[in-house]
Structure 1
Amino acid sequence: MARLTRAQQQERTRAAVLVAARQEFAEFGYVEAKIDRIAERAELTRGAVYSNFTGKRALYLAVLVDAAERARDAAEGPANPPASVGQALGAFARVWLERLPFLGDSPGSGHLQLRSLSGVLGTEPARAALAELVRFEALLLALALEPRSTPSAGTVRRAGLALTLLHGAAAVAENAPGVGDPFDLARAAEHLADLALGDDREPPHLPYVDPARSTETPWAPPGGLRDEITGRPVDLGEDGVVVVLGAGRLSAAEDALRSAGPEDAVTVVVVTGDPAETGRLARLRIVDLVGCLRRVFPADRLPRARVVFDDGGTVAAALDHPSAEDPDLTEIAVRVRDGLVTTHATGRGAGYAAARQPEHDQRH
């Protein structure tokens, strides 16, 4: 029998730890789970667990990410796509609510099914990143609700209200399984489409954003990147807009998408200074949402933005921004045309500045 390579052995160890951790978290929940018991379940040493995961929080998030990725990859588009925004919100809610625990489920298994983060996020940066992720999820849902146009501010807000409704139902079900009728909740989400909300008022900081710098710099982007929405490889050398955002700045993607042209390919590159925890949190929330979207919308109605995770910071480095004082607050954006970076912006509002159409394009 051929001996396993070091990489193959590490992957086998990691898989064994994930299986054991899933069993431990399902039985005891996050708070009462123990790394020593996980090691025993996997028939490994405590050191072998820590060689693959930095701690219990990172391991718990890895278990949730693994489940979300499996669900996303198995998701299939609907036979009858929703015909209206209201129908789409109702269908999305029905899919999302399938995770609610039943009365007989153990607390630990119910929390895993809910992708629960109760008691997990212990730092202020992690909570701030979660707030940005919720806003980004609302944007992705709105892009699916209005697939052939720039999403209005009202649609993004309706999508945010739908997510608030669903997460609120999950918070109640986590402590009182069986409370809340999923059919009523889905109907409530459907009616959010008719809720009158103010539309399209620009954020107050946009008029003060510094304009992007014009340039003609050759662009050699890193390869091996993948769009988390479609699963297809991403070529950042194609014409379009590339927005690199830290996990604490993801809501800025809305300004970039709304200022880009209707034919622009917009890629949001997610970076973080803590891939093991904040990075996994971002991956969990985005992958989980995409799994639901794939079951509600056909492929041609998935969000038109591309989402890339860049844990190693290779895209920022290729743009001559190899590091930042706080990577989670990164905002870098460029417009690419004919293999050249034609506009380049950094700092607050960078995506908005770089994505805006040049004056000569607006005239024609």
Structure 2
Amino acid sequence: MRTLNKLKLSLFSLILIFIFGCHSSESNNTNLLAPTISIKLVDKSGDFEEVNVEVVDVLIKMDNDWISLNSNQKVINLLDLTGGVHEILVDKFPIPPGTLKQIRLVLGENNTIVIKNDFNEGVAHDLKTPSAQQSGLKLKVDALIEEGFTYDFVLDFDVDKSVIIAGKSGNINLKPVMRVTTEVSSGIIEGSVLPVDESAVASVVDTKGTSETEDDEVISAYTNYNGDFALWGVPTGTYEVVLTPVDSNSKYKVTTVSDVEVVNGDITVIKPAIELALKEGTITGEILNKNVVVTASIVVNGIDIQVNTNQEGVFLLENIPIGVYKITLTPADGSGLVKVELNNEEVKEDQINDLGDITLPEV
């Protein structure tokens, strides 16, 4: 019996040694796994119909050596990269440990831009990118790359600043302006804007944690056809998100959402959808007829808005969306006065349209 117990104990010890030996071996293999890198391309903003760039390759400088990440050559419309959409240029490519000093985006020659002409038709133009074609756009990183980790980088392409329309030559040049962030050291703000057909730019200001404004950076993105937007590479903090209509003649004004918190590595979704505020103004006037109450009314989007005169005969129609309206002045029943209609009265943003002194005629 003792011999059998010893055999059982020896067999159990061998099993434990085998199990722990396997775990130790697996652990060592894990520690020796090469780090990997992923690179996404997003569009910061751009007010064109299309901006197509040909990506030939993505290179990184590890210590003193340049390494190709074997990115597939492709033509990308940067304006498709809105509302959280991104293009994966490199997906979990193994790289050696060390210091990643730079990322280089190399563009080809098949770059075009589509701009509407005077007839509201989209016309394609060549985009000239001499510097990017020759040596690639270099982005400073200086990140320590260690074994066993995956590193995700986001390249934010600022189309508005990158497209340069030359004067007399008529050339349209692409001088890429980009910023690079890591997903682990920044967050994303996502949201939607109403109405969806009102194109807007969403933006926040990264103050870099200082009171100085010289190093402030504006992170912005256009809404897509669904009204969605995504702000990539926003550092941890609390922000005011600003929504600015693209059309300066829009009936909507700049709208803000305060106290939006961002956490590194997380996506902050603003809910519910953000309704753009209408540009508004005021209409006022004074009725000179004594001892009579007059109702001033205006129809806004099918809704009748009314206000009565005060003791001094003054009426005030406030928070009226900008536009041209008919103002109806209706005296109280039995006053012996006639209703008056004032046509083509304009309401301008943050202004008071004073109709002045008004005397209603008698019956």
Considering Cα pairs closer than 8 Å and 6+ residues apart, tell me whether 1 or 2 has the greater RCO. Answer: 1
Q: Which has the higher strand share?
A: 2
Instruction: Say which structure is richer in helix.
Output: 1
Which structure: larger Rg? 2
- When normalised by structure 1's length, the TM-score is 0.20
With the length of structure 2 as denominator, give the TM-score of the two structures.
0.21
